[in-house]
């Protein structure tokens, strides 16, 4: 008895920790398969012992939300659904009644309120009682109607989701393995809860309605199906739904299980809700579940296979992720041969070893995962050397999670950011070298320093046969590389990534030294300090960079690859000499704050990030705001000027 009680306590702690990591921190410490298995074990123990702990996930719904978004209490608690993997239990639930069967979408549940035909409010499910107000973000969901025909109050629920195609597109733009999103739900959760809805808009979030809570005065003939029809008429995308009963439930489940392979929206099962609205209401709820609904979780298709190797995948942050490579198996209609293990903790939990017999499945029938290791040899060696640079590795522990890192600061895998700056538009302007492509080229050994970009023809065959490349893309890349050979000295200096040296600073310095490479290499801090707009920090960074023999040789190598074009000398008067500015808030007449910064620096001024006693002007279009920078400026008696006032300063000669 005591052993069972102890096991129950262990399960409650582990499941709560796993759910908190998944829902609040967007990370996965155990697989969905393992979570469901442990949840079922806990429920069985609770029934056997007749004891349910107050913190048990079988009775508690969600966690308190953690963000700066405003919070709001729901009028009625939003309960989760009781679930099963057995069709026999669905038949028992159905009895003689009809139910609406639909996808159980895997995203973030949202409650929408419309008044007089306009969207008034959007609130996340949160912990079921208190959610976060995300109205501003909901307004940029890809398919959400901001106006609907019905003029009364409407409250409905639905799922904010990101499709697999957009998930893969967004992940492909993130080269470092540890920064990639593990699944569409994590990506959606982060996208919906952004403080800046411009980011939300870029993520192509969709809203799919699944439940009408209120629409006074509309006759639905006591039918959920009629409610779905009405929501569609109002302009909402509704979840795929059919009528199900005891006779056809098996065929319906089979239909959805086949359809999921073609479905772009992530789903972790199905939902049944009685079509008879009043009957459903009359049943009431348990402490956690409504009695009018039931969830069906997919019985995962599991295959046994043999682990062939662990591939160690480095990223630009130094993180080295383990990837399991196994004998190919057929899962959910496709051939699968690899699955991310995510981190060392999961690898150790599974006790993975080469040659082990493992069980694999697809989470939500899409993402390959390891369900179980049947032989658990645990003989897999953790590499002591980075697979890219051969440098030493180190195990780090954060939040009870072990990860492996390369500690060599010169590791090529860590150089992606610096290469990305080198090829960027304001620098050498080389198209066709995204961060993802750079990471591949660096990992393959094509590039060790910037000058290698000008000799990629040595790897022509390898590049043409890489995934995503071919004759045309290789030719376009080479043409862009050749075009970049015609550049200016400021762009070349900026492209090196010298700390604190922006393009405008590089222009000032190059202009002062007449674009002469030798003079630039031998510049002293005293000489640089005399340039209006160049302070001690910038001067020190510049001199220290070229004190490194490796950096001097790199510039000399690059100068042999490029042809320096003479830039027109800046005729701008140094009207802001010895003046310090801080810029905050949005700008209207410039493309961005960086343009304002360059306009100041090219005229001899300096831009800093915080207001101090040395600040001469704070530029903020919202002069009356109570922001921390405005408050500090008022305390110190520093003028707060608008963008228009700044432009007037520019026009004074």
From CA 20, how far away is CA 67, in angstroms rounded?
A: 14
Task: Please tell me whether residue 76 adopts helix, strand or coil conformation.
Answer: coil
CA distances from 112 to 96, 102, 127, 180, 393 (A): 33, 20, 17, 30, 49
Residue of 165, 380, 163, 388 lying closest to 265 (CA atoms): 163
| Burial readout 305-325 (b: 16 or more C-beta within 10 A, e: otherwise) | bebbebebbbbbbbbbbbebe
Query: Do 205 and 188 contact (CB within 8 A), yes or no?
Result: yes
Beta bridge partners of 304: 359
Cα angle for residues 473, 474, 479 (degrees, 5° grid): 95
Write the CB contacts of 217 (distance below 8 Å, at least 6 apart in sequence): 152
Residue of 119, 120, 114 lying closest to 153 (CA atoms): 114
Long-range own/partner contacts, residues 328-335 (CB < 8 A, 24 or more apart) = 329/303, 329/304, 329/305, 329/360, 330/303, 331/301, 331/303, 331/360, 331/361, 331/362, 331/368, 332/260, 332/261, 332/301, 332/362, 332/365, 332/366, 333/261
SS3 content of the chain, % helix, strand, coil (to 5): 35, 25, 40
Quote the crossing angle between the two packed helices 593-601 and 503-512, to the nearest 10°: 20
Residue of 48, 63, 50, 52 lying closest to 16 (CA atoms): 63
DSSP state of 392: B
Put residue 92 in one of left, alpha, beta given phi > 0 → left and psi -120 to 50 → alpha. Answer: alpha
Residue by residue, DSSP assigns 336-355 as EEEEE--SHHHHHHHT--TT
Annotated catalytic residue 139: no
Beta bridge partners of 157: 111, 211
Query: Do 616 and 580 contact (CB within 8 A), yes or no?
Result: yes
Out of 104, 362, 414, 597, the active site residue is 104
Q: What are phi and psi of 391, to 5 degrees?
A: -75, 170
β-strands 393-398, 401-406 pairing: antiparallel
Write the CB contacts of 565 (distance below 8 Å, at least 6 apart in sequence): 486, 487, 488
Helix or strand run (H / E) with residue 121? strand 118-124
Catalytic residues: 104
């Amino acid at each position: 008895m005591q052993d069972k009680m102890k096991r129950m306590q262990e399960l409650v702690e582990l499941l709560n920790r796993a759910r908190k990591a998944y829902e609040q921190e967007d990370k996965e410490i155990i697989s969905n398969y393992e979570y469901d298995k442990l949840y079922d074990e806990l429920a069985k123990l609770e029934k056997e012992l007749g004891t349910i702990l107050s913190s048990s996930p079988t009775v508690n719904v969600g966690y308190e939300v953690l963000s700066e978004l405003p919070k709001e209490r729901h009028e009625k608690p939003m309960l989760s659904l009781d679930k099963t993997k057995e069709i026999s239990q669905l038949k028992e639930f159905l009895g003689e009644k009809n139910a609406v069967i639909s996808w159980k979408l895997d995203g973030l549940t949202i409650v929408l309120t419309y008044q007089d035909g306009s969207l008034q409010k959007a609130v996340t499910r949160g912990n079921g009682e208190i959610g976060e107000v995300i109205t501003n973000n909901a307004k940029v969901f890809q398919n959400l109607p901001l106006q609907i025909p019905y003029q009364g109050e409407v409250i409905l629920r639905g799922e904010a989701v990101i499709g697999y195609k957009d998930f893969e597109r967004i992940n492909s733009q993130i080269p470092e393995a540890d920064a990639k999103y593990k699944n569409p739900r994590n990506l959606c959760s982060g996208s919906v809860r952004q403080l800046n809805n411009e980011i939300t808009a870029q993520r192509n979030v969709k809203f799919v309605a699944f439940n009408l809570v209120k629409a006074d005065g509309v006759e639905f003939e006591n039918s959920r199906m009629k409610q779905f029809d009405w929501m569609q008429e109002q302009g909402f995308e509704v979840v795929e739904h059919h009528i199900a009963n005891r006779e056809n439930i098996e065929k319906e489940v089979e239909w959805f299980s086949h359809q999921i392979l073609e479905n772009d929206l992530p789903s972790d099962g199905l939902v049944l809700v009685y079509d008879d609205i009043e009957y459903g209401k009359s049943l009431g709820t348990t402490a956690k579940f409504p009695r009018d609904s039931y969830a069906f979780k997919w019985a995962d298709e599991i295959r046994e296979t043999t682990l062939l190797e662990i591939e160690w995948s480095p990223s630009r942050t130094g993180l080295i992720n383990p990837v399991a490579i196994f004998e190919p198996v057929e899962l959910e209609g496709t051939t699968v041969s690899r699955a991310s293990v995510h981190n060392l903790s999961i690898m150790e939990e599974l006790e993975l070893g080469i040659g082990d017999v493992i069980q694999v499945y697809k989470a939500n029938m899409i993402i390959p995962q390891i369900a179980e290791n049947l032989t658990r040899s645990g003989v897999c060696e953790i590499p002591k050397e980075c697979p890219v640079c051969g440098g030493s590795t180190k195990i780090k522990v954060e939040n009870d999670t072990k990860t492996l890192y390369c500690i060599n600061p010169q590791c090529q895998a860590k150089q992606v950011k610096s290469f990305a700056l080198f090829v960027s538009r304001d620098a050498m302007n080389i198209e066709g070298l995204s961060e993802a492509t750079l990471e591949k080229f660096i990992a393959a050994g094509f590039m060790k320093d910037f000058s290698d970009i000008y000799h990629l023809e040595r790897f022509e065959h390898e590049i043409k046969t890489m995934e995503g490349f071919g004759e045309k893309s290789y030719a376009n890349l080479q043409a862009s590389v050749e075009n970049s050979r015609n550049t200016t000295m400021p762009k070349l200096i900026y492209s090196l990534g010298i700390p604190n040296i922006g393009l405008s600073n590089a222009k000032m310095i190059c202009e002062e030294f007449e674009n002469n490479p030798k003079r630039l290499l031998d510049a002293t801090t005293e000489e640089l300090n005399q340039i209006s707009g160049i302070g001690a920090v910038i001067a020190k960074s510049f001199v220290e960079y070229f004190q490194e023999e490796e950096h001097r040789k790199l510039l000399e190598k690059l100068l042999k690859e490029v042809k320096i074009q003479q830039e027109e000398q800046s005729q701008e008067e140094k009207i802001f000499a010895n003046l310090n500015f801080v810029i905050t808030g949005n700008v209207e007449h410039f493309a961005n704050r960086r343009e304002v910064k360059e306009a100041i620096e090219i005229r001899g001024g300096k831009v800093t990030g915080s207001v101090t006693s040395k600040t001469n002007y704070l530029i903020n279009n919202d002069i009356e705001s109570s922001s921390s920078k405005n408050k500090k400026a008022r305390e110190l008696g520093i003028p707060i000027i608008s963008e228009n006032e700044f432009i007037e300063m520019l026009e004074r000669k």
